[in-house]
Structure 1
């Protein structure tokens, strides 16, 4: 009998089997490697941020005196904040401090970066002088500020007396005390802002600058229409970082004025510290901390949404 036609054999690769055996296993290996690298960070974040944060949330609903277990009181600590004049004074001081320091540090940092990015003599020396405050802690910076602004032995009042000018009561006058905190903070923060802006300026394509100059743009027009728009990303980063820092300021205020005189320089963190460690009312201090956290998250979210909307519109 004649042999029938041979059956055709499908020699195509089994893509479905390959998909089940190859790609998922490769993805699993990549996911496993990612989790291995992320595990130390997640562990540290959980131990030192998430767990303490959860404990603070629970503590904010309790009445405590620093000894023994607290008593659950619900929202009484948060209700108490509404009628606390010191809390409102600390909140206003924190907002005013943020409004003064954030744009001031960013503007001075941008100006210094523009100068150091140009053909300025002795640029390395000026850069080192501006970056030097970043190398010391906030407490050390505040101690240096105390040497300058102490109303009895400070260098500034000594210079004023030498010039025949009246002294300034840096610790006794509320306005002068607040000004001293702002000035010391600006001296400490300008170097960081300058460093970020200088790195961004050095990353700008030089052909854009040359093209604008060829078209007849002046120095002011070059800065307004070319340089500053190209600094949008670092500006947003510095805005968020400076706002968060300003909300959390503690060491400079604590060392320079201690919150005085008459709570004129008390901010939310120093008030929470005094409440938790001096008055031993940790539950109320935790409630102050929660308000500070929510306020910081709200402002950051608004900044993020504003920046995102500008990018989409552009």
Structure 2
């Protein structure tokens, strides 16, 4: 009998061991099914992290990586270098090959240029910003432009101040936002808002986010059927000036957030609260298949570092960086 029991115990041990290994492998596969990219800086160098693994960008000294996009296995990073109040340099990496953005877009080195957004859709590269109108003969007069695969289109001349603008591409049409509306097929469409934000796409069309009612209400406008998808009348931070609209490609839900609002974001037109006494401001956010990926920050005016950053996946911390060492600025998620 003892001779029979021993092999039986060994068999059970083998079976449970296999089951545990299968469970571990399943968990690993689940965790590995999404690649999480975070762009920012560390040790005064532009960089990004892929699944927590640090990658420095070539010649990225004193540059902030402010936006990252993964498209068809290509890694695009937009970078900013602040020289002085009136002097900002812009850079662009594609698969870690660095380009001076003015040179990349054929802008004379003597021209002043300000870029505030870029997007890549189906390998089409789009940049939006302002370049000074040298031909006007008047200093500090700009043209609002976008560049599609390096080809410039002027949307508006004689702009006296380069406001932040956004850009997107939908149904072979370029959409470019402005403070008071948006351009579609280079035609301006006015909105009764006070401050235009950005675009987000889902199966219902392409939506434009703008802020109204003395910087308190968030408006989601469907540019396909020219109607408001929703107006969020929640009392917001009274000086709200920057918010962002994103969408979940699996569910088509729209999400709105801002680094100027504490402990909440909006799913469609529903307020979602989360509890964190420190890391309560969302710097950037992506949603994929109802999974939430957030960069959140903690600020203090009384001690150093003045700002710290964490990455959360479904409200579980996965990364941290002190503001003394760098920053997290942009997050992007890709399903394998």
Q: Same fold (TM over 0.5)?
A: no
Structure whose residues are more often helix by fraction: 1
Larger radius of gyration: 1
Task: Give the TM-score taking structure 1 as reference length.
Answer: 0.23
Task: Give the TM-score taking structure 2 as reference length.
Answer: 0.22
Q: Answer 1 or 2: higher relative contact order, Cα 8 Å, separation at least 6.
A: 1
Structure whose residues are more often strand by fraction: 2
